[in-house]
Structure 1
Amino acid sequence: MAQQVNGVIAPGKNEPVRVETIIVPDPGPGEAVVQIQACGVCHTDLHYKQGGINDDFPFLLGHEAAGVVESVGAGVTDVAPGDFVVLNWRAVCGTCRACERGRPWYCFATHNARQKMTLTDGTELSAALGIGAFAEKTLVAAGQCTKVDPSVAPAVAGLLGCGVMAGIGAAINTGQVGRGDSVAVIGCGGVGDAAIVGSRLAGAARIIAVDIDDRKLETARTMGATHTVNSRTTDPVEAIRELTGGFGADVVIEAVGRPETYQQAFYARDLAGTVVLVGVPTPEMTLELPLLDVFGRGGALKSSWYGDCLPSRDFPMLIDLHQQGRIDLAAFVTETIGLGDVEKAFARMHEGDVLRSVVVF
């Protein structure tokens, strides 16, 4: 039967979030109920609160989560009650034209739970990225559950559900950073730092971190940046060129999502280099570039959705690398908080002194 749990909702545009009682239905065919153990506070959740995604309020926030499968619906075979899972918002269908061409990370028909979670008065909730994990339990499509090693801390594992995977994947999967490459990362929040980690893992020889905050730049060095540039005081394009023999970086990863920083990324890459946009823009933003420059510089301009990841492949691999000590996912956890502290965590994002606040249940 349906369960009542506590969850954090965004009731309206720019209104403070609040803890409410949420009704979680029993899982239907192809669905699973997951008991959440930890969920990171991601900037995308703030976008939902601010109305930057859409206006389907109220939202049940939270999506960067790990937990234990409590129950599954009919036809579910890939996960079972008791499995420790990381939730993902790209549950591939297996039958669309991208999946049939062997490119499931581009799946054009990803799916979520068909049933809606509600408030006690019956108001339907829009689950953030189809997950809604700032709650003691949530209902998702079973394909959104990826089994990983249960010995890893939930607060660490859950980060793969969004920001860390997006950044690492932007470097490895989308940017295809290779051994000896030069990489510049513009924007050193959680996603940007993860791109630095991914670039180091791929064997980049020079990793240039760019930000306007010296505290973030210092953190970027601990993540593997070899050079840092404060773009508040220094022209980042000129600085990146100077650090790469006058040519520009082989791969430039834009982790801010603004037209100004995208233009910097475009002109800071080497001829025939690659720009990867992984920062999330807002709907009103537009970009203007001279078409002749787009043509004349060659190379590739790519967007990276979720780091072009395949959760079933990438989540277990990255957990294994963490367990082996080859990457330090725990370094992204700045603080652990309670369910009632999400609004304060949003405020800390603006202060710039946090990579991830993680709600622990």
Structure 2
Amino acid sequence: MPQKVRGVVAHSKGQPVSVETIVIPDPGPGEAVVKVQACGVCHTDLHYREGGINDEFPFLLGHEAAGVVESVGEGVTEVAPGDYVILNWRAVCGQCRACKKGKPWYCFNTHNAAQKMTLEDGTELTPALGIGAFADKTLVHAGQCTKVDPAARPQAAGLLGCGVMAGIGAAVNTGQVGRGDSIAVIGCGGVGDAAIAGAHLAGATTIIAVDMDPKKLDWAKEFGATHTINARESDVVEAIRELTGGHGADVVVDAVGRPETFRQAFDARDLAGIAVLVGVPTPDMTIELPLIEVFGHGGATKSSWYGDCLPSRDFPALIDLYLQGRLPLDKFVSEEIGIDAIEEAFHRMERGEVLRSVVVL
């Protein structure tokens, strides 16, 4: 039978969210109902509330989540009731041209649940990133459930579902940073600090954190930054070059996603270095680059979608590293809050006071 649970709903652009009763249908073929244990408050949820993603209101917010599978629909074999899972928003199809080329992290036809969750009056909800996890329970495609070791705290594990994975993957998967490399990360919020943690884990020896906020630069040191640059006080490109023997960094990650920060990333990389854009720009942003400089650099300029991750491969491996004490996921959890405190958590996030507020259900 359909279930009624609490969920956080955004009804219109820029308006405060509200906790409401939502209806969760029984899982159909290929679907699963997950009892959510914890869910991080991500900038993407705020983008949904602000109408920055699309205008398919009302939205059921939340997507950085971990929980336990409660029930599954017909044909589901990858997970079973009782499995502890991290939810992901790129459940690969296995059939599109990217998947068939052996690059499933670019899958162009990812899966979501076919059925809709609704308000009590039958109004259909649009779940954030196909997940909608600011709720006691949510309905997803079974492929969005990635089974991991249940010893991992859900408050930490769920963060791999979006921002932390995006940052680690930008450094390790997209930027391919490795032992002895240098990396600069521009923007030291949750995604940027995750890129720093990933670079530290991969063995980079020069890890440069760039931000305008001294508090964020202090946070970056906790994740492995060896050097910091305050962008208000220094020329970022020149400072990065000075710290890398005059050459520029092997990898530069732009975790902000603005034309000026991307240009810094482009200019601050070594001649054969890689510039990675993981911060999400708005549709109106443009950039102009001298073509001779594009030609004059080898290496690559790349965008990083979800850290170019494959959840079935990356989530279990990163959880194992967390349980070994090698990946400090707990440090990303600035505070634990209830489901009714999300609006204020948005404001703290906008003010730069937290890395992640985590809703505990």
TM-score by length of 2: 0.99
Q: Does 1:80 align with 2:80?
A: yes
SS state of the match for residue 293, structure 1?
helix
Partner of 1:130: 130
- CA distance in structure 2 between the partners assigned to 1:227 and 1:333 by the alignment: 23
Which moved further from structure 2: 91-100 or 212-221?
Answer: 91-100
User: What amino acid is aligned across from residue 347 of structure 1 in structure 2?
Assistant: H
1:193-342 map, 5 Å: 193-342=193-342
- CA distance in structure 2 between the partners assigned to 1:326 and 1:272 by the alignment: 30
Partner of 1:187: 187
Contact 1:52 1:283 in 2 (8 A): no
SS state of the match for residue 110, structure 1?
coil
After the TM superposition, list the runs of 4 or more consecutive aligned residues in structure 1 that deviate by more than 6 angstroms: none
Using the TM superposition, give the Cα deviation of residue 133 of structure 1 relative to its aligned residue in structure 2, in angstroms: 0.2
User: What amino acid is aligned across from residue 151 of structure 1 in structure 2?
Assistant: A
Partner of 1:151: 151
- CA distance in structure 1 between the partners assigned to 2:50 and 2:170 by the alignment: 25
Using the TM superposition, give the Cα deviation of residue 109 of structure 1 relative to its aligned residue in structure 2, in angstroms: 1.0
Identical pairs, percent: 75
Using the TM superposition, give the Cα deviation of residue 184 of structure 1 relative to its aligned residue in structure 2, in angstroms: 0.2
- The number of aligned residues is 361
SS state of the match for residue 150, structure 2?
coil
Which moved further from structure 2: 296-305 or 78-87?
Answer: 296-305
Partner of 1:37: 37
Partner of 2:53: 53
Using the TM superposition, give the Cα deviation of residue 55 of structure 1 relative to its aligned residue in structure 2, in angstroms: 1.1
Which moved further from structure 2: 96-105 or 319-328?
Answer: 96-105
User: What amino acid is aligned across from residue 59 of structure 2 in structure 1?
Assistant: F
Q: Which runs of 5+ in 2 are unaligned?
A: none
- CA distance in structure 2 between the partners assigned to 1:277 and 1:73 by the alignment: 38
Partner of 1:69: 69
Using the TM superposition, give the Cα deviation of residue 285 of structure 1 relative to its aligned residue in structure 2, in angstroms: 1.4
SS state of the match for residue 275, structure 1?
strand
CA deviation map 1:252-298 (0-9, x unaligned):
00001111110111111111210011111112211221222111222
TM-score by length of 1: 0.99
SS state of the match for residue 288, structure 2?
coil
Using the TM superposition, give the Cα deviation of residue 234 of structure 1 relative to its aligned residue in structure 2, in angstroms: 1.1
Contact 1:91 1:143 in 2 (8 A): yes
SS state of the match for residue 54, structure 1?
coil
User: What amino acid is aligned across from residue 293 of structure 1 in structure 2?
Assistant: E
Partner of 1:102: 102
Alignment root-mean-square deviation, CA: 0.8
Which moved further from structure 2: 101-110 or 76-85?
Answer: 101-110
Contact 1:185 1:255 in 2 (8 A): yes
Partner of 1:119: 119
CA deviation map 1:141-181 (0-9, x unaligned):
00000000011111011000001111111111000001111
